[in-house]
Amino acid sequence: MELHTLKPAKGAVKNRKRIARGQGSGRGGTATRGHKGAKSRSGWSKKRNFEGGQMPLQMRLPKRGFKSPNRIAYIALNVSRLSEISEKYGVSEISPEVLYKLGITKKNDLVKILGNGDLTAKVNVKAHAFSASAEEKIKAQGGTADKL
């Protein structure tokens, strides 16, 4: 066996289909594209969501709702969660930086304190927003609620 005698195994190599090389090839004329229509013409490519001329799904379904570009997404924390955090970690000063270090929020999250539950400890809270009831409960325990 030498390099010039090497051949692929029988049946391993298949001849490619030579399309549009004249009538004698058997694949001339329409070049296997059929007659007329968009698919027979050059430059045709199937568009995304194309359903053969049928009304596409995204156009058959109704439009619903609205997404405001001015929406501000807050991470909501209840007053009861604040008392859990202060008891569990022994923290009296709670701010977004502290919450990030404890792994409760992500780095650039905006925090809003809500008034659900009871506050048991005196806590000084710094957050981006407070509900009226949350601010009331924090101040009733002798803590402070500062907006950032």
Strand partners, 127: 147
Separation of alpha carbons 29 and 7, rounded Å: 35
The verdict on pTM exceeding 0.75 is: no
Residues in contact with 92: Cβ distance below 8 Å, sequence separation at least 6, in sequence order? 86, 121, 122, 123, 124
Choosing among 3.100.10.10, 1.10.3720.10, 3.90.120.10, 3.40.640.10, the CATH entry for 74-147 is 3.100.10.10
In this predicted structure, the answer to whether residue 100 has a pLDDT above a threshold of 90 is yes
The DSSP result for 73-94, as a single string, is -EEEEEHHHHHHHHHHH--SEE
> Is the predicted pLDDT of residue 105 greater than 90, yes or no?
yes
Q: What is the pLDDT of residue 1?
A: 83
For 13-42, write each residue's pLDDT tens digit: 999 999 999 999 999 999 999 999 888 999
Structure letter (DSSP) for residue 30: T
